């Protein structure tokens, strides 16, 4: 039996670099997976729940929709995220609203709706994608670092508050990962993505980013 046989999972940000890898690995390990993103075409999944995480109704309803589509819910992975680059003085109201909405408010809403569902069947697991920069901030990403710190703190609080219900709440805090988001970030600043990734890899002990 594979590790996630008969487990039912919801993954947000499922079309992105990290998200699509999570979906592939869960499916390969036997899980049934409901994928959520603005567009989910081309993903191999058990159920498709496209939508905009900035819509509170959509975020509030995702866990129930996944439960209905899969016949249950055991795992929730809040992986969707956006990056606003620059210092506070370079941050617009639109940057603020997008970053807080996707990186903080959506995971909060999804967790709030998912916890009663998981508790009703004896527990489950929630995994939130934070960032190493949410723990040790870097330069020129003030808003991003702040939102990921919020996710890390919220995760710790929920882990304490809901352990007695059999719900494990954890965060992963990646460093740089070779994804379309990282590559487009380099390109938008005038760097060749391959050259920039090669230079960035030299700062990592094993010689490459994840």
Q: 3 CB contacts (<8 Å, ≥6 apart)? A: 29, 30
H helix runs in 2-141, sequence order? 17-28, 56-70, 93-99, 106-120, 132-135
Active site residue 58: no
Catalytic annotation, pick one of 95, 111, 144, 150 = 144
β-bridge partners, 86: 141
Question: How far is residue 187's CA from residue 194's CA, in Å, rounded to a whole number?
Answer: 10
Question: How far is residue 156's CA from residue 99's CA, in Å, rounded to a whole number?
Answer: 20
Residue 9: φ, ψ to 5°: -125, 145
DSSP state of 38: S
> Packing angle between helix 193-201 and helix 180-188, nearest 10 degrees?
110
**Residue 155: in which H helix or E strand, if any?**
helix 142-162
Centroid of chain to Cα 77: 6
What residues are annotated to the active site?
144
């Amino acid at each position: 039996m594979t590790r996630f046989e008969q487990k039912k999972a919801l993954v947000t940000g499922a079309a992105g670099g990290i998200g699509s890898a999570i979906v592939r690995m869960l499916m390969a390990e036997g899980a049934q997976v409901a994928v959520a993103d603005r567009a989910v075409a081309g993903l191999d999944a058990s159920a498709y729940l496209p939508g905009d995480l900035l819509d509170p109704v959509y975020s509030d309803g995702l866990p129930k929709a996944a439960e209905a589509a899969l016949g249950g819910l055991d795992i929730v992975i809040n992986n969707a995220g956006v990056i606003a680059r620059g210092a506070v003085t370079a941050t617009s109201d639109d940057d603020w609203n997008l970053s807080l909405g996707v990186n903080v408010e959506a995971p909060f809403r999804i967790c709030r709706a998912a916890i009663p569902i998981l508790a009703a069947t004896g527990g489950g697991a929630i995994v939130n994608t934070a960032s190493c920069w949410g723990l040790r901030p870097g330069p020129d990403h003030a808003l991003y670092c702040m939102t990921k710190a919020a996710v890390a703190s919220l995760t710790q609080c929920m882990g304490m508050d809901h352990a007695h219900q059999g719900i494990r709440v954890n965060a992963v805090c990646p460093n740089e990962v070779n994804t379309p988001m990282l590559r487009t970030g380099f390109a938008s600043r005038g760097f060749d993505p391959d050259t920039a990734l090669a230079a960035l890899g030299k700062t990592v002990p094993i010689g490459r980013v994840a």
